[in-house]
Amino acid sequence: MQEVVLFLLLLGVLSGGQALHLIHLPAMSKVAENSPPETSVHMFAMKLSASLSPVVPGFPLIINSSPLTRAFRVNWLSDTDFEVVTTGMEQLDFEEGPHIFDLQIYVKDDVAVTDLQVLTVQVTDVNEPPEFQGNLAKGLDLYIVEGTKPGFVYQVEAFDPEDTSQNLPLSYLLISPSKNFRMSANGTLLSTTEFDFEAGHSSYHLIVEVRDSQGLGASTELHVNIVNINDEIPRFTNLTHMYTIPEELSPGIIVAHITAEDPDDRGFTSFLLYSITTVNSYFMINQLTGAIQVARRIDRDAGELRQNPIISLEVLVKDRPSGGQENRKQITFTVEDINDNPSTCTKFIFSIMVPERAARGTSLLDLNKFCFDDDSEAPNNRFNFTTPSGVGRGSRFLQDPAGSGKIVLIGDLDYENPSNLAAGNKYTMIIQVQDVAAPYYKNNIYIYILTSPENEFPLVFDSPSYAFAVSELSPPRTQVGRVQVTDKDFPQSCITYSISAGGASQQYPNIFWINPQTGELQLVTKADYETIPVYILRIQATNNEDSSSVTVTVNIIEENDEKPICTPNSYFLAIPVDLKVGTNIHNFKLTCTDLDSSPRSFRYSIGAGNINSHFTFSPNAGSNVTSLILATRFDYASGLDKIWNYKLLVYITNDNLLSGRKRAGALVETGTVTLSISVIPHPTTIITTTPKPRITYQILRKNVYSPSAWYVPFVITLGSMLLLGLLVSMIVLLAKAIHRHCPCKTEKHKKTLNEEHKERGHGEGRGDPLSPGSYCDATQRLRTMYNEIHRLNKSIPKTVKSEASEQIKWMKAIPSLFTAGSCGQETMQMNTVFDGEATDPVTGAIYEFNSKTGARKWKDSLTQMPKWKESSPQGAAPRRPVPQEGTRTPRSTDKERDGLSIKVQAEDAGLGPRSQDSMPSTPKNRNSAFTRGASPKRHPEK
């Protein structure tokens, strides 16, 4: 019991007393929205475990957050003090984001002790000033045309971040007062005068401020510009109408500059707008400056300009985009041709395949079919070809005539020629196509000439025929031989080998396989000499252009791989016990054959079943036919022979013709024959049998407790504790009942036996709390519980009993509690006067009683012997004495006598007194006790 308590205490210490603990968590903290990074949110500490193991670096940390956020982290202040701060990685916005975050803070030390607590962070609202959006926040330029009537100019708008529904009013005002403008409370900018540009009022600078209900505000700038109005026709100031420009000018280059002026505003020509009214794609004009620029590439050699290089344009100048004054002017551009296109070809790389037997003078390539010059005028559109150069060209190729671009073959391209092999049969030529006019553009043309090999030589095997030999015992994948073919053509093409004919047997369609790349011939399965001794194969070699065949003869080398086969293979013979020696038993003969051995090679022998060597074969070697002979007589009388049924295993070996030295290394096969021979005794012959010895097996079983069965003492201890608890609760209930119903009363509070009997309703049997049946039931239950505990104690293994001995030791004193009459044995001395007598209807004894108090005593108890009535039927409650008419129920003078009466009734109910060994006595013992004259003890009267 002490070990269990210590174990529980240890678990409690480990689980709670030494655990790592976060202090000031869980908790709730607040942080203002828009807080800057490193703003302190909450400070907490940590209590280390009893081992004082330090915290793992990186801990504590926030492992989860709800909702998910990266706005917080944990900072170290010391080894045990920490602080949760903002990171600035996410902006805390009360209006747009979550208001509450649940942060799970996790910590772990070096011994893997952990703790997890939750910090709830609430984002608080902070009043933010109104804001202008877009360009209005940076300052805005406004334009008012001169002469416009006073009135609406612009509607200024701002928003309050605190008011997501835009229901709270904002107030607008002008910081810099102006007599020309005013601002309404709702943000409308109004003009108060009509503006005149020529009068000098060209622009105004205004500052607008907006405020919320709490007085926070923001401001922005408005630049109001007065747009001038022109009512005079603009006039062109330059007189040039024709321009000459070269082709291929870069886009953006200015080729002409048109200028004009407005009489209404002579110093500000930037307010005039220029445009080209003629539809064209080559030029564009700056609408403010009048500069004409190249819009895209002007190619004199393509499109309409190749035939007509003149471009006409009409220029329009206006003083306003629409509805104003305007003027027009015609100008002409002439485009000149330049040598801007180098001689080019549709292909600059040519790859030509020429057969190795091509004739000299063969035309290989005409470059004029692929080259050209896109310039529109001579000499810009003319070109020629340079002399060829390149690796491997030598004297094999020529341009004929020179500069014409026509390439012809003048040399030998034989693929097998050693000099051509050195060049790899690959030739490279480089020819340049070049303009005849400056700046003499040129381009390289690369010509690759590859010699195409032709099949000039046949495939030839290195032997006109092949002959291989392989043992019939060779396993699959054994190499039989190899064939090889040569090809004088270059390059060497891939040669494939195959078996075109032969190599089949009755069981297998293909006995051989040839490697298609190497020509190695292999076995697919074992070859059988006895089936086919020689295979004629036809092997073909091909290189996808040519093929050749050769004959291959494979001779199978015979091996001794067949077992002798004899007939009959098994046989039963019955012979008399007195058969003469040398007799051919039933004229039995073995006839053996072997597909790969001579009939003279057989040798016969009998296995271990030939006890006492009664049987032999003649001849035992050198023949394929042999007879079974009785070699020795049977002798059962002397006990030499005891077996009547023989089972012979005959071995037939085909090594008779081999010498001992050759037999050790040669392959030998052995066949078997089974013979069953039964010896028939004479009718008077007694068949002796050997009795089988009787074996007695003694199994010793030992109950050995295994330490691995930890649950046995645990279950026994737990059961014992539960039984002890139940027993204690029963004893407490019994003590309460005895204390409630058997108090030690004084004379003042005592009641007579009849009064108590009446109050209890004359209850008898086990229903009455003080009746013998009730007392006996409780006592019987306690005895049953004790006996069960005693039996369980005996069943505990010795190795376990010592562990529970302390818990069970105290129960040995329980039997002393079960002795009859243990309740109410306190002796109460009283001066009592007995004024009446009565006979006990149960025992027949005479007792005296006091008619007032109900006290009683036995009369002449030393001489009277109680006479017990027959016991009541089994299961019935014991009877109580019936008082005689005119008398009161007898009552003992003291509690000891009351206890005695209870004891007698309990014994009558079958719950006898205990013997010396604390076990209930038998009825026989009880009767003998009374026959010896035992009587209740009387207290002397005072």
DSSP result, 758-825? HHTTT--GGGSTTSHHHHHHHHHHHHHHHHHHHHHHHHS-HHHHHHHHHHHHGGGGGGGGGSTT-TT-
pLDDT surpassing 70 at residue 873 = no
Lowest mean pLDDT among 161-175, 645-659, 870-884: 870-884
Residues in the chain: 942
Assess whether pLDDT exceeds 60 at residue 405. Answer: yes
| pLDDT tens-place string over residues 898-917 | 333 333 333 333 333 343 34
What is the distance, to the nearest Å, from the Cα of residue 507 to the centroid of all Cα atoms in its chain?
A: 52
**Domain pair 18-126 / 460-557, same fold:** yes
Q: What is the mean pLDDT of residues 224-247?
A: 83
Report the percentage of the chain scoring pLDDT > 70.
73
User: Can you tell me the distance from the alpha carbon of 658 to that of 574, in angstroms, rounded to the nearest whole number?
Assistant: 36
Q: Which residues of 341-361 are buried (b: 16+ CB within 10 A; e: fewer)?
A: bbbebeeeebeeebebeeeee
Answer whether CATH 3.30.720.200 is correct for domain 460-557: no
Contact predicate 939/829, CB 8 Å: yes
Most confident segment among 205-214, 273-282, 445-454, 682-691:
273-282
Amino acid at position 8, single letter = L
Mean pLDDT of the 772-780 span = 53
Q: How far lies 325's CA from each of 139, 258, 273, 541, in Å?
A: 33, 17, 10, 97
Nearest Cα neighbor of 804 from 226, 121, 3, 193 is 3
347-452: which CATH topology? Immunoglobulin-like (2.60.40)
High-pLDDT (> 90) share of the chain, %: 19
φ, ψ (nearest 5 deg) of residue 635: -135, 90
pLDDT tens-digit series, residues 471-506: 888 899 999 999 999 888 777 778 899 999 998 888
Out of 351-355, 627-631, 885-889, least confident range = 885-889
Question: Which residues, listed in sequence order, are joined to residue 542 by a DSSP beta bridge?
Answer: 496, 547
State yes or no: pLDDT of 403 exceeds 90: no
Segment 920-941 shows an average pLDDT of 38
Q: What is the pLDDT of residues 287-308, one digit of tens each?
A: 889 999 999 999 988 888 888 9
| The pLDDT of residue 243 is above 90 | yes
* Residue range 198-226: mean pLDDT, rounded: 82
Q: How far apart are the first and last CA of the chain?
A: 52
SS3 647: strand
How far apart CA 675 and CA 928 sit, in angstroms, is 88
How many alpha carbons lie under 13 Å from residue 508 in its C-beta half-sphere?
15
Comparing 73 with 862, the larger pLDDT belongs to: 73
What is the C-alpha to C-alpha distance for residues 707 and 11, in angstroms, rounded to an integer? 22
Q: What is the pLDDT of residues 20-52, one digit of tens each?
A: 888 888 999 988 888 889 888 899 988 887 777
**In this predicted structure, what is the pLDDT of residue 384?**
86
- Closest by alpha carbon to 317, among 230, 254, 191? 230
pLDDT at position 210 is 86
Tokens for 506?
């009755």
> Quick one: residue 413, left, alpha or beta (phi over 0 = left, psi -120 to 50 = alpha)?
alpha
Average pLDDT over residues 324-341: 89
Please say if the pLDDT value at position 824 is more than 60: no
- Residues paired with 563 in a beta bridge: none
Per-residue pLDDT reduced to its tens digit, 729-765: 999 999 998 888 765 544 444 444 444 444 444 443 3
* Exposure of 936 in the CB half-sphere (CA atoms within 13 A): 28
* CATH number belonging to domain 131-227: 2.60.40.60
Give the domain ranges of the chain.
18-126, 131-227, 235-336, 347-452, 460-557, 565-680
> Residue 129: is its pLDDT beyond 70?
yes
pLDDT at 690 over 70: no
Which region holds residue 671: left if phi is over 0, alpha if psi is between -120 and 50, else beta?
Answer: beta
Q: Does domain 18-126 have CATH number 3.30.750.24?
A: no
CATH number of the domain at 235-336, out of 3.10.20.30, 3.40.50.1000, 2.60.40.60, 3.90.1150.10? 2.60.40.60
Backbone torsions φ then ψ of 527, nearest 5 degrees: -95, 140
Beta-carbon contacts of 612 under 8 Å, excluding residues fewer than 6 positions away, are 632, 640, 641
Mind listing the pLDDT tens digit for each residue in 667-681? 788 889 899 999 998
3-state secondary structure 542-585: ECCCCEEEEEEEEEEECCCCCCCEEECCEEEEEEECCCCCCCEE
pLDDT tier for residue 550 given thresholds of 50, 70 and 90:
very high
Lowest-pLDDT range, 122-131, 553-562, 586-595, 680-689?
Answer: 680-689
**Res. 812: pLDDT tops 80:** no
- CATH superfamily for domain 565-680: Cadherins (2.60.40.60)
Compute, in degrees rounded to 10, the torsion defined by CA atoms 796, 800, 805, 808.
-40
Q: Which pLDDT score is estimated for 940?
A: 39
Where b means 16+ CB within 10 Å and e means fewer, 681-712 reads eeeeeeeeeeeeeeeeeeeeeeeeeeeeeeee
